[in-house]
Chains A and B, each alone.
Chain A
Amino acid sequence: MLYINCPHCGMRSQNEFSYGGDASVKRPELNKEVSDQEWDNFVYNRKSLRGKHLELWQHISGCRQWIKVERDTATHEIFRTFKADEEVA
């Protein structure tokens, strides 16, 4: 069982969350020419890192907020959690 420290609600079990994928993926800027390759990178291509991975989760059975979680994909250790709009240094 993973325990995720929701920045809004505190430590909760993984059962309350749903996964949202790689949080480092950025949607191409609007109002500018976007190449097919840029769309590809946004929609399909993923690094799928082994090790530290910044990802989105939604506290779906809690505050329903989207959050960012920094987790190790090999050990499942969770290092830090952030609010969705928080910049990750």
Chain B
Amino acid sequence: MQKYSIFNLVKNAFSNHENWDLAWKDPTPKEEYDVVIIGGGGHGLATAYYLAKEHNITKVAIIEKGWIGGGNVGRNTTIIRSNYMHDENGLFSEFGMDLWRKMSQDLNYNVMFSPRGIINLAHSDAQMNAYARRGNSMRLNGIDAVLLNREQVKEIIPMADFSDNVRFPIFGGLMQPSAGTARHDAVAWGYARQADSMGVDIIQNCEVIGFDVSAGKINGIRTSRGNIKAKKVGLCVAGSTNILAEKLNMTLPIETHLLQACVSEPIKPVLDNVVTFGAGHFYVSQSDKGEMVMGGDLDGYNSYAQRGNLPTLQHVLTEGIAMMPFLSKLKMLRTWGGIMDMSMDGSPIIDKTHIEGLYLNCGWCYGGFKATPASGWTFAHTIAQDRVHELNAGYSLNRFNTGHLIDEKGLGTKTWIS
């Protein structure tokens, strides 16, 4: 593989950048693989990368219905954080933070990781208490957390509404300084390029039509480009999880819902951090191009549409304007939607299944992007060793049966409630 470096950049400048190698190949599917990963998104690509890198399993194919990185890894708001209260979520995400910090070097691909800090605003005394509790839980797990009072928040984000007559006054906030953002497409492309270089076949425009299961064991998959034998199959298909589960006669604790995001026209630098509104569901950061990147609630009903509806957008942006009134002056540049695999307790599932050789990675709800490296790493471990790692032991499928839910937000099974 051609290394990306300043020297290669200069060298290729002499030939007008026309002689760069392709970042990944376009192979035809082989007859058989050791592992087939279904879904060429961030999680699938990361899984393939860590299978090759950590477990030396390179007879791997990624099967993608469309093109790699065209789903949620290309549609998110790029936020990376580990500000969770529950141990399972905190330790898993913090492990991921470490991978994020090293990712650009690891992948030889600039993923533009920017640890700019995230601030969750609090709008009442009770919420400040809750944040103090969450911050303490985070620190016990080795995650950085700082409780900010109103004056401290004002110093960091003076453009927020600190006037006296607001409906949701800012009491303070909880900050995770090491949280941040990254260039989402680069994450997918970086993983794809490295996985490809280690021998993984990235097969695009290939839809999975069915599974070949006999005597409780997976033998392969049927695709639009022919049958592929596989010893092990991993599902990393986010919002399409239920569609594939149906082909396996499985019913999962997952519902597919639509989540929208939007960006404003680019403006000069105004916001250094990621900021979330505490009296609803709204978050905002500023991209390197200057656009304000915003998102919030689900559209609120089961959907596979990958495009949003205006009432939700209006509701979300109303919250944004309540938090930062200057946003009302901006023009909207783009809006888009992606379909989320909403689990029934708000936490993901990375586990084996009752079918031997079939592994499940789903239920990422609002937080799939930031989990990309940790999800890929633990899923690769689960597939390679045929047992879960302690980091994803809590993300079991049968926790819904045993009652060991990880309900970080306390929302219960109504995934569309925010």
Contact = CB atoms under 8 A, between A and B. Distances in A.
Interface of A: 1-2, 14-15, 18-19, 21-22, 36-37, 40-41, 43-50, 53, 55, 71, 73-76
B385 interface: no
A1 B302 CA distance: 15
B234 to A, nearest CB: 20
Which label, helix, strand, loop or mixed, suits the secondary structure of the B interface?
mixed
Chain A to chain B: the 9 pairs with minimum beta-carbon distance, closest first: A44-B253, A48-B242, A45-B251, A44-B400, A44-B344, A48-B255, A19-B301, A74-B304, A50-B304
Contact of B401 (A19, A40, A48, A50): A40
B177 interface: no
A75 B305 contact: yes
28 contacts: A1-B309, A15-B311, A19-B301, A19-B416, A21-B302, A22-B255, A22-B302, A36-B401, A37-B401, A40-B253, A43-B413, A44-B253, A45-B252, A45-B253, A45-B400, A48-B255, A48-B256, A49-B242, A49-B302, A50-B242, A50-B304, A55-B302, A71-B301, A73-B256, A73-B302, A73-B304, A76-B305, A76-B309
Nearest to A46: B255
B254 to A, nearest CB: 6
Interface residues of B, number: 24
Contacts of A44: 253, 344, 400, 413
A50 B300 contact: no
Contacts of B309: 1-2, 14, 76
A46 B363 CA distance: 13
A68 to B, nearest CB: 13
A34 B413 CA distance: 20
A36 B399 CA distance: 12
B133 interface: no
Contacts of A76: 303, 305, 309
Interface of B: 242-243, 246, 251-256, 300-305, 309-311, 344, 400-401, 413-414, 416
A47 B304 CA distance: 13
A43 B309 CA distance: 28
B416 A46 contact: no
B416 A21 contact: yes
Contacts, number: 71
B415 to A, nearest CB: 9
Contacts of A73: 256, 302-305
Nearest to A76: B305
Given A47-B242, A74-B304, 12 more contacts: A1-B311, A45-B251, A46-B242, A46-B251, A46-B252, A46-B253, A55-B301, A73-B304, A73-B305, A74-B303, A76-B303, A76-B309
A51 to B, nearest CB: 8
B256 to A, nearest CB: 5
Contacts of B256: 48, 50, 73
Contacts of B400: 40, 43-45
B251 A41 contact: yes
A29 to B, nearest CB: 19
Contacts of B414: 21
A62 B252 CA distance: 34
Contacts of B344: 43-44, 46
B246 A47 contact: yes
B251 A1 contact: no
A14 B300 CA distance: 11
